């Protein structure tokens, strides 16, 4: 959460409320923002057209967190385990969205109240977020294509953040394919442990 909280604060416009004359106004503004974003999952949308939210799962905070956590450089997990991240899995998007929701909830009092992560609450939120994405994906062919494009767009942006150009191939010596990784965990063989 040490990466998620500052991204959420900046991306969604929350402000620290000190003890000065403006503190109450800032707290009210933070409460209003938190309520607005949490109702109807509006925090996952990247824009609006009139009153209608547009571009679900393309809010810049989602991409920024994925980049900072899994694609910070050419040796980060998103690059080393490329086959697991290309395209960005729906479960990863749901996980990031869950953490964003948790961080926004911390602002509902108007002042950030950091809450310890609770496994049961997180699991419930994650399952709901994953269900939301899958329900959208299953709506029709256009929605299925849209989610696939979001996954690929997130991957390309993250890969670029790690220092790769669009068509630059990954170095096979530094990335681990799914087959190699799976093959390395063959539990039927004796493990080469020292005795």
SS3 track for the chain = CCCHHHHHHHHHCCCCCCCCCCHHHHHHHHHHHHHHHHHHHHHHEEEEECCEEEEECCCHHHHHHHHHHHCCCCCCHHHHCHHHHCCCCHHHHHHHHHHHHHHHHCCCCCCCCCCCCCHHHHHHHHHHHHHHHHHHHCCCHHHHHHHHHHHHHHHHHHHHHCCCCCCCCCCCCCCCCHHHHHHCCCCCCCCCCCC
Residue 16 domain-assigned (yes or no): yes
Residue 121 domain-assigned (yes or no): yes
Structural domain for 54, as ranges: 4-178
Residue 158 domain-assigned (yes or no): yes
Residue 73 domain-assigned (yes or no): yes
Residue 186 domain-assigned (yes or no): no
Number of domains in the chain: 1
Residue 65 domain-assigned (yes or no): yes
What are the pLDDT tens digits along the chain (195 aa)?
899 999 999 999 999 877 776 788 999 999 999 999 998 888 999 887 777 888 999 999 999 999 999 999 988 999 999 899 999 999 999 999 999 999 999 999 999 989 888 888 899 999 999 999 999 999 999 999 999 999 999 999 999 999 887 666 655 444 544 444 444 444 444 444 443
Residue 67 domain-assigned (yes or no): yes
Residue 190 domain-assigned (yes or no): no
């Amino acid at each position: 959460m040490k990466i998620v909280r500052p991204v959420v604060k900046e991306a969604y416009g929350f402000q620290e409320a000190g003890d000065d004359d403006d503190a109450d106004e800032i707290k009210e503004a933070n409460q209003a923002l938190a309520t607005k974003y949490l109702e109807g999952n509006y925090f996952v949308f990247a824009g609006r057209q009139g009153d209608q939210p547009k571009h679900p799962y393309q809010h810049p905070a989602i991409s920024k967190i994925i980049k900072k956590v899994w694609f910070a450089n050419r040796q980060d997990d998103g690059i080393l385990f490329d086959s697991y991240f290309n395209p960005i899995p729906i479960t990863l998007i749901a996980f990031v969205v869950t953490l964003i929701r948790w961080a926004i909830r911390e602002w509902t009092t108007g002042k950030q109240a950091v809450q310890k992560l609770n496994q049961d609450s997180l699991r419930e939120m994650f399952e709901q977020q994953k269900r939301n994405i899958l329900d959208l994906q299953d709506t029709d062919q256009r929605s299925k294509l849209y989610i696939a494009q979001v996954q690929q767009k997130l991957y390309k942006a993250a890969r670029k953040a790690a220092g790769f150009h669009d068509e630059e191939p990954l170095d096979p010596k530094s990335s681990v394919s799914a087959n190699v990784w799976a093959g390395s965990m063959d539990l039927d063989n004796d493990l080469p442990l020292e005795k």
